[in-house]
Amino acid sequence: MPRLDEIPQLCGATVVRAVDLVALGVPRSTISHRCRAGGPWQLLLPGILLLHNGPVTRADRRQAALIHGGPGAVLTGADALELHGMERMPRPSGPVHLLVAADVRRAGSGRVLAERTDRLPVPAPGRWALAHEARAVLDFARRSRNRTEVRAAVAEVVQRGRCTPADLNTELAAGNGRGSALPREVLREVGDGVRSAAEAQARAVLRRSGLPAPIWNAELYDRVGRLVAVPDAWFDDVGMAWEIDSLEWHLGPADYARTLDRRAAMMAEGVVVVHHLPSALKNPVTVLHDLVANHAHACRRPRPPLLALPPR
């Protein structure tokens, strides 16, 4: 039997299967004794141990879930999105969402959500076996009832260029129809040019205004074909832009600075620019009053000579 303090090094990890310890020569009685309440090891899942008694991290739970899922298992949902670098969805908590082959039978004991699928993604090389972003965000969306969180997650993967709206629609059509109503609605918003959760909320408010429908994220070009700006919403009939301004809904300070530069460029071309914080959308009466009044003002002056093209 190896020395107990050498076992993590021999295993190359601190999250291990009990059968692998037995193969190293550790008696089952020793494993059971060390996993007792207050003992030096912990039981994470049936037959899967943590070789210390400190706090259990999310990484420990993810590793245990992948071992539990067996060969080919991949992380999906919020865990995969976080590991892909997404920041707009809530931090993962509760059971680790795992995809396993359709013929695999796994029970997660409340700590793993093992979803069987005929379309098991092939993960890219890396430390973690992850479903690609389109699959991960839709697996998250299908199990969420929070429209704002789904909007934010879907908008972020598109904003960061990890997948396109077409990729998401293809993935949604190929997947399980259960729980697909909310992601379908959000994808329709994205298809209309909406690129953030705040824009989606603004779109809902705007439906009550009686104003012509704007172009979301239109590309504005001047007479010589120079790109001037891409406002959140563009009222082409009068040349008015609506911006939903907040650092919270941009990817970083540099993105927010570009928002301010974009506004200045539009105003230099004679565009009427209306801007609100996302928090203002909670008081739609005030927002609608601002939009209607500014639209009327824009009607009273010549429309700026800008060409508006829908988002690509």
- Give domain limits for the chain: 4-56, 59-191, 201-309
Angle at 144 between CA 138 and CA 149, to 5 degrees: 85
Q: Does the pLDDT of residue 82 top 90, yes or no?
A: yes
Query: Residue 62 and residue 44: Cα distance in Å, rounded?
Result: 10
Q: Are 153 and 77 in contact (CB under 8 A)?
A: no
- State what percent of residues in the chain have pLDDT above 70: 92
pTM of the model: 0.69
* Number of CB atoms found within 10 A of residue 46's CB: 11
Note the pLDDT tens digit of each residue in 147-203: 888 988 988 898 788 988 889 999 998 887 788 899 998 888 776 666 666 777 788
* Contacts of 218 by beta carbon, 8 Å cutoff, 6+ apart: 193, 230, 231, 234, 236, 308, 309, 310, 311
